[in-house]
A and B are shown apart, each in its own frame.
Chain A
């Protein structure tokens, strides 16, 4: 059994177990006395944020590692984590407004965190577009790495910019110890684990596709050479 197959099986198993337990705990969790059932969306929303930030951080880090070492594997990791990060961020940006409409009464506000997340999302969507519009894997890797690093550098600047613009924070603060009602901790914790497992599963899958694609490109180039 190759290392990839083993990883894939491990992450699939972890994902299946976590997802089942998570669904059960979310089902069992008490209904929030203030917000009602809509509060349960947060058991999806918050774990997805973890997946999104993890993906974007990994994209920039492996991009930088690629520029340093010029090893194709770092570039494939960078591309894979950007795609998985964008997937999770899409879920964040879908579940957030649904919850907000029920609780704040409006789909969107230009709040600090909402705006930051949206901007970050657009940066990484542009990153994926840049990759697909650049011919040549080596060139795409270099360009994408530079863009990912610039995208990371702009996060603190955006933070100050939106703060300056008076982006009031209506978004709930990070969970503090004891701020969750009884029975709400377990679904959150399992949600985080499920998000991690889903992240790992999707990343391994996407890495496999990347490896196969690189192999295909190599074989095609070889065939073209032998025919010429």
Chain B
């Protein structure tokens, strides 16, 4: 547990000092919003509205993958990753610390992206802000759990930036589907469908357990 807090603190402090991941993710998400706005059907009719939840999650996903790609890149400098692996603690806690740090960064970017979306697509998100944040957090938790695991793998392969999305996207379908369904119902009808939340919760749980247990092996060098 102490290891979790130590890793989380270290990641947040180093991010606060450089702010490179957060800025890169934020600017990238903003660019994605602009591209999606230009690509969406013109006008604010129902056809354009129906796609907004899906587009929002595309922006979240791209920003998340960009951030996760950097999660372990800094650990490669000065062999910090090997030193982390040598620490006499359960490696699952190191994983949770890294994943939580990525999750917190992604949540900040998600909030900013939602604001940009509301402005671009002329949405009133304020009445559903709390519930939208909850759905975003559930989706982000699924993304960051397996994302952190595969980031630790991808960073030690060739073409590391290419490898992460290739590994991650085919496995993220349940997270994305649940999140898009829930966001869809929330933005268009103002309700939260329980089956979609159930899917998100179960997927998050499974991904967390699998990643927590297998991270041990990934760091094993």
Q: Which residues of A contact B (CB under 8 A)?
A: 67, 119, 122-123, 126, 129-130, 133-135, 139, 142-143, 145-147, 149-151, 153-154, 157-158, 160-162, 164-165
User: What is the chain A residue whose CB lies nearest that of B165?
Assistant: A126
- Residues of chain B within 8 A of A149, CB atoms compared: 210, 214
A143-B153, A157-B199, A161-B177 are known contacts. Are A133 and B159 too (CB-CB below 8 A)? Answer: yes
Asked if A143 and B157 make an inter-chain contact with CB atoms under 8 angstroms apart, the answer reads yes
* A133 CA to B153 CA, complexed, in Å: 11
Contact of A164 among B171, B178, B206 (CB under 8 A): B178
- Residues of chain A within 8 A of B156, CB atoms compared: 134, 139, 143
10 closest Cβ pairs, A-B complex: A161-B174, A157-B174, A122-B170, A161-B177, A133-B157, A146-B214, A123-B170, A133-B158, A134-B157, A143-B153
Main secondary structure on B side of the interface with A: helix
Chain A CB within 8 A of B148 CB: no
| 30 A-B contact pairs sorted by A residue (CB < 8 Å) | A123-B170, A126-B167, A129-B166, A130-B157, A133-B158, A133-B159, A133-B163, A134-B156, A135-B157, A139-B221, A143-B153, A143-B218, A146-B149, A146-B153, A149-B210, A150-B149, A153-B210, A154-B206, A157-B199, A157-B202, A157-B203, A157-B206, A158-B174, A160-B199, A161-B199, A161-B203, A162-B177, A164-B177, A164-B178, A164-B199
- Residues of chain A within 8 A of B190, CB atoms compared: none
* A130 CA to B163 CA, complexed, in Å: 7
- Residues of chain B within 8 A of A146, CB atoms compared: 149, 153, 214, 217-218
User: What is the chain B residue whose CB lies nearest that of A166?
Assistant: B181
* A21 CA to B62 CA, complexed, in Å: 52
Query: Interface size for chain B: under 10, 10 to 19, 20 to 34, or 35 or more residues?
Result: 20 to 34
- Residues of chain B within 8 A of A151, CB atoms compared: 170-171
- Residues of chain A within 8 A of B195, CB atoms compared: 164
* A165 CA to B54 CA, complexed, in Å: 13
Give, as a whole number of angstroms, the nearest-CB distance from A127 to chain B.
9
Choose among B149, B167, B203, B206 the residue with the greatest number of A CB atoms under 10 Å from its CB.
B167
Chain A CB within 8 A of B220 CB: yes
- Residues of chain B within 8 A of A147, CB atoms compared: 150, 153, 167
Asked if A164 and B157 make an inter-chain contact with CB atoms under 8 angstroms apart, the answer reads no
- Residues of chain A within 8 A of B178, CB atoms compared: 161, 164
Q: Which residues of B contact A (CB under 8 A)?
A: 146, 149-150, 153, 156-159, 163, 166-167, 169-171, 173-174, 177-178, 181, 195-196, 199, 202-203, 206-207, 210-211, 214, 217-218, 220-221
* A133 CA to B170 CA, complexed, in Å: 18
Asked if B170 and A153 make an inter-chain contact with CB atoms under 8 angstroms apart, the answer reads no
Asked if A129 and B163 make an inter-chain contact with CB atoms under 8 angstroms apart, the answer reads yes
Asked if B210 and A161 make an inter-chain contact with CB atoms under 8 angstroms apart, the answer reads no
* A147 CA to B154 CA, complexed, in Å: 11
Asked if B218 and A142 make an inter-chain contact with CB atoms under 8 angstroms apart, the answer reads yes
Contact of B174 among A123, A139, A160 (CB under 8 A): A160
Give, as a whole number of angstroms, the nearest-CB distance from B206 to chain A.
6
Contact of B206 among A119, A145, A153 (CB under 8 A): A153
- Residues of chain A within 8 A of B174, CB atoms compared: 154, 157-158, 160-161
Asked if B171 and A150 make an inter-chain contact with CB atoms under 8 angstroms apart, the answer reads yes
- Residues of chain A within 8 A of B220, CB atoms compared: 142
* A139 CA to B61 CA, complexed, in Å: 28
* A135 CA to B207 CA, complexed, in Å: 26
Asked if A150 and B214 make an inter-chain contact with CB atoms under 8 angstroms apart, the answer reads yes
Contact of B181 among A122, A126, A150, A165 (CB under 8 A): A165
